Amino acid sequence: MVITELLVLAIGLSMDAFAVSICKGLSTTKTSVSHMAKCGIWFGGFQALMPLLGYYLGNMFSVYIKAVDHWIAFLLLALIGTNMLKDAFSNECDCCNEGNADFSIKTMFTMAVATSIDALMVGVSLAMAGNVNIWAAVALIGIVTCLLSAFGVNAGSIFGNRFGAKAQIAGGVILILIGLKILLEHLGIIK
């Protein structure tokens, strides 16, 4: 994968964390640098860690599934993307509820894990896709998520609910398209 593809992947993966960060910004009466840093570090850290774990898990099992790895990568990314689209169109913002101004370790850990589970599966997909510098990928994913999450807290406090669903739609579409690209490359349809 080239750097532009990794950047697009990082942006797509960060959309869940971005949407939750917007909701965190909505829930605070006054957004501080501390709030932005907490969301950025927690979400960025877990978005970097999970694909790394997924990549190594994928490599462990790649010998057994090499013949269908491109289909697995496509299906995982398509499922994650479709789930993001479903959540975006479901008229419910499960992250924007009362009491969401909590930035405690327990709350942030739970939200970081919840928003990065898809990144674990993407890591497995990256292992299946091959030719990926996993260290560059996880660094870029972590940095992009950190920055977008910090921005999301601030944007949530300023602009309200406008970005949450749109961010999830964009992220879902990006992940589906990346999965489709991996599949079409392995089938020899595109180069």
Residues 57-78: pLDDT tens digits?
988 887 777 677 778 778 877 8
Spatial contact of 183 and 41, defined as CB atoms under 8 Å apart: no
Q: pTM score, two decimals?
A: 0.73
What pLDDT is attached to residue 145?
96
Integer Cα distance of 146 and 138 in angstroms: 12
Q: What angle do CA 72, 176, 49 make, to 5 degrees?
A: 70
Integer Cα distance of 87 and 76 in angstroms: 17
What pLDDT is attached to residue 58?
87
What pLDDT is attached to residue 98?
40
Q: What residue spans define the domains of the chain? A: 3-185
Integer Cα distance of 182 and 20 in angstroms: 28
Could you say which residues of the chain have pLDDT below 50?
A: 97-99
